[in-house]
Each structure stands twice: as structure tokens, then as C-alpha cells.
């Protein structure tokens, strides 16, 4: 599956050689990188739904219309949307938008 990270700072944090300052705890950054790996090796969003520990869910409300989330830990979620490209076969692109502190 293809992944597009729309937030510049998240794109930098996704690199394993990154060592900058982050607004997130280190365990959230590690969980983010693990989730990125799982997303990249998945063939489609159904593969992600099958991994129960990710708690893949469609979000509700006007602000989150058409968006989904995966749990990074108890408090933080990775927010993204899924875009489809038609052409020979269905190709899904995960567009990562933000990491959200779910209970803040």
C-alpha cells in the first residue's frame, strides 16, 4: 500500500535517523513508526482492519468526515484518510494527516 505523510513534521519523525525535538513522547514516535511499517506491508485497508490491536475505525463527526484512525497507544491515535486510484486494479493510498491525543 502506498503511504503519503501530509504533515511535514510527521514525515521527518518517520525517518529512523531523525533525532529532532518532538511534541510527542518517544513511545508515541516508536508506535508511529511501527504502524507505518504495518501500513506499508499491508495490501489494502482490509489487512489493517484484520489486525485487532490497531483498533482501526472510521471516525465520526463533521471534523473527521471520511477519516479513519489507528491506535498508537492508550492516548494517541494516527488520523488518516484513504484514497483510491483506479487503474488495472484498485490501489489504496493512505494519506496520514496527524497524530491526535485522543483524550486531551
Q: Rounded mean pLDDT of 25-42?
A: 92
Task: Return the pLDDT at 1.
Answer: 82
Host H or E run for residue 6: none
Q: Tell me the C-alpha distance between 46 and 100, whole Å.
A: 23
Beta bridge partners of 5: 96
For 2-101, CATH gives 3.30.2310.20
Determine how β-strand 67-71 pairs with β-strand 57-58: antiparallel
Domain boundaries, the chain: 2-101
Write the pLDDT tens digit of every residue in 48-103. 999 999 999 999 999 999 999 999 999 999 999 998 877 656 778 899 999 999 66
Task: Return the pLDDT at 77.
Answer: 95
Amino acid at each position: 500500500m502506498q503511504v503519503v505523510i501530509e504533515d511535514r513534521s510527521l514525515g521527518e519523525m518517520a525517518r529512523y535517523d531523525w533525532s529532532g525535538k518532538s511534541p510527542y513522547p518517544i513511545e508515541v514516535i516508536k508506535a508511529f513508526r511501527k504502524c507505518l511499517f504495518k501500513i506499508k506491508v499491508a495490501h489494502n485497508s482490509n489487512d489493517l482492519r484484520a489486525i485487532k490491536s490497531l483498533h482501526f475505525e472510521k471516525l465520526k463527526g463533521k471534523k473527521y468526515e471520511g477519516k479513519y484512525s489507528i491506535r498508537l497507544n492508550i492516548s494517541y491515535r494516527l488520523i488518516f484518510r484513504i484514497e483510491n486510484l483506479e487503474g488495472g486494479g484498485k490501489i489504496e493510498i493512505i494519506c496520514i494527516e496527524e497524530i491526535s491525543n485522543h483524550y486531551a
